[in-house]
Structure 1
């Protein structure tokens, strides 16, 4: 039977009547077991009256607990304690399975380790980086900035090195986006991007995509929510494998022209794409952030990405970073600069791009031959339409194949599978046979 606690019970135990105080003291009661999982909480208005605060104060405190999935429910159905753990975790990423040796794991759209360039010489060079071991908060090494500027898609005011692409997104989201704000983001999108935004407590406004990128009409609709930011992948969509055309980029610029929305461009795939780098930076240099990650092309253990923006925005992001590391390893920055100058590394990246394209194309060709409407493109995975995601997942599991459901990459209803292809160097026909059965076509 579900327990309940009335407003008087809370009034005797909550001494700090601020939003933060109510949230923290309620957490403490849950942690101590005084409010077990399943306990029904009193109506907001009753509790507000008992505590002598406004209903909005209780609502905001409950929103904080709801964000961490400690309480659930709202409205006429009531609110109850749904969890007793207080460590935030990425819901989508955290729900990924652990698979045995007999399972063909096509969940991780990550680079094939055999195709990454060797790092020994680069790391040895990095150990002699300028100003090594100084506690000076270095934003980016001059030699790394010099190298990235050579191919950067626009001329920015300032650069910042970060500890990888998702670290860049996480940091800017916390530095620039307040909880409760609206954020427009292309749909589908990276599941870790959704995890970061949900953890921040922002309102996610999906912008649907087609074969050329985010649709201008969908972005226009999203703008009615007055989003504080718009996040998209300007070069190659990491989930669908489709690129953004120059014409589409110009159409998006027209929609964003008369707004003050912050624009975040996330190039997490880098030169795995054969498409030229491009950006809205030439249109909106003072409110655009462009991120380029080197994890997929040069190695995830480099833990390195570079972002560009105005000096004002870089200052804000760097100020937030001062709460933690404050700067990115000079060793890794110098090593990356060395790799960007090295002709053999460039050859390695070019070869990897060709093989990733070939592997993806081989699976898509096999699927199309079986009547599955997967689209050709680039990148490390394929976006495969199915009639039912649950049925498809169960069917593939029975055939010893693990993939991700499309639902992990969207907040809208989806009928897709994301199938990683980067390490799929054979078995195209048997995998396509299994997917055809799973697709229910």
Structure 2
């Protein structure tokens, strides 16, 4: 919509706007105002302060605000009229907005990928990364990245290394401690890709059932009878159940493992997007816990970012498993990731993205509840949806152009009950569309629901 066609509302309060701006750089101002516009807190037609007025209130140069306004103008979020000043425009339609919806076949309901419109921009991060020190050989992790991740690490780490994404990090960790034919204790249900990694590596699984607090201590004790060389579990935003392991459960699991000399591999796949605190068995089991954190969901797949930290002996085994070659991680991309982890404006964007993901997850959970289906909205980018029969439900949904994940792929063996894994990260922000999806899922699953 052109600026001249948009009815102008009252100007935004200068003090109100200043109180919601974090980092006082051009990028920080643009990121904060962009979030306010996209969240609807500053509606279309709102008149923004003049460059000089906002610069004076923020104690920055007018050039800083002019550059921020230029970035917002390039994004199609603001326009400038001859007499009305700078006006907020209708946000451009994104892939996950209601206006851009063109069928469920265009929405990721299966894999749990992040919404591209909620990823932070990479321009400044990459620009910061190019200034990294060039080395003749290669160091596993840059000094900047190690310094950026260390304050948020859930356990003291003797050593660190890097992997090309979360899947690669878990693969390296598992292959570093388990050989073909070995057994690992693995929470169940779990992420399908994790089971695929172990199968391709010819590593056997002793399943450990979960409840709403994580792996069950009694189930872990039973799995130890299979003499596993490692225990692998997700610490928070677990795929597919969505739980985060609380400190009390950590203590119970540590008690089960205290007299068994096996390695623990902890997977933190959601990383900085998770709202639950990061926890670890490392304090109770020193020298035995390798923590693997992926940043791909938060920052996008392009940075190929995953950090592993823990005992020096375990990290060294991962490094030997990794070796030089295709798995080598660019130092430029590592320092770009370090920039994003320490940048205040990016932190604010991640906070808003986390809120948006939560809203979408809760919206579908509530819509399913209205149809008589209980799919708790815990955390993450998917819901675990109970159904009477998996194959029949998947086929019925596919006939409507809807592709979701089958719960059976989350189990090493035959599951005792049927579920779907429905990704929520790219759901449209339109309640009517979400309600339609819930009704179609309910009908495909044989539920009548409250609306028939």
Q: TM-score, normalised by structure 2?
A: 0.73
Paired position in structure 1 for 2:439: 433
Paired position in structure 2 for 1:422: 425
- Give the 3-state SS of the residue equivalent to 2:420 in structure 1: strand
Distance in 1 (alpha carbons) for counterparts of 2:326 and 2:141: 14
Matching of residues 29-428 of structure 1 within 5 Å: 103=105, 104-130=107-133, 132=134, 134-322=135-323, 324-325=325-326, 327-414=328-415, 415-425=418-428, 426=430, 427-428=433-434
* Large movers: runs of 4+ above 4 Å: none
Distance in 2 (alpha carbons) for counterparts of 1:326 and 1:119: 22
Q: In structure 2, do the counterparts of structure 1 residues 136 and 239 end up closer, same or farther at CA, with 3 Å as the change threshold? A: same
Unaligned runs of 5+ in 1: 1-99
* Matched pairs, number: 340
State the superposition RMSD in angstroms: 1.5
Distance in 2 (alpha carbons) for counterparts of 1:169 and 1:210: 23
Q: In structure 2, do the counterparts of structure 1 residues 215 and 197 end up closer, same or farther at CA, with 3 Å as the change threshold? A: same
Distance in 2 (alpha carbons) for counterparts of 1:403 and 1:109: 10
Unaligned runs of 5+ in 2: 1-101, 448-452
Distance in 1 (alpha carbons) for counterparts of 2:227 and 2:104: 49
Structure 1 residue 195: deviation in Å? 0.9
- Give the 3-state SS of the residue equivalent to 1:150 in structure 2: helix
Q: In structure 2, do the counterparts of structure 1 residues 326 and 411 end up closer, same or farther at CA, with 3 Å as the change threshold? A: closer
- Give the 3-state SS of the residue equivalent to 1:174 in structure 2: helix
Paired position in structure 1 for 2:4: none
Distance in 2 (alpha carbons) for counterparts of 1:400 and 1:325: 37
Distance in 2 (alpha carbons) for counterparts of 1:381 and 1:236: 10
- Give the 3-state SS of the residue equivalent to 1:375 in structure 2: coil
Structure 1 residue 407: deviation in Å? 1.0
Structure 1 residue 330: deviation in Å? 0.3
The superposition leaves residues 177-208 of structure 1 with CA deviations (integer Å, 9 ceiling, x where unpaired) of 11111111111111111111001111111111
- Give the 3-state SS of the residue equivalent to 2:152 in structure 1: coil
Structure 1 residue 323: deviation in Å? 5.3
Q: In structure 2, do the counterparts of structure 1 residues 290 and 387 end up closer, same or farther at CA, with 3 Å as the change threshold? A: same
Structure 1 residue 101: deviation in Å? 6.6
Distance in 2 (alpha carbons) for counterparts of 1:135 and 1:289: 29
Alpha-carbon contact 1:271-1:353 (below 8 Å) kept: no
Distance in 1 (alpha carbons) for counterparts of 2:161 and 2:309: 6
- Give the 3-state SS of the residue equivalent to 2:291 in structure 1: strand
Distance in 2 (alpha carbons) for counterparts of 1:210 and 1:135: 50
- Give the 3-state SS of the residue equivalent to 1:265 in structure 2: strand
Q: TM-score, normalised by structure 1?
A: 0.75
- Give the 3-state SS of the residue equivalent to 1:428 in structure 2: helix
The superposition leaves residues 36-89 of structure 1 with CA deviations (integer Å, 9 ceiling, x where unpaired) of xxxxxxxxxxxxxxxxxxxxxxxxxxxxxxxxxxxxxxxxxxxxxxxxxxxxxx
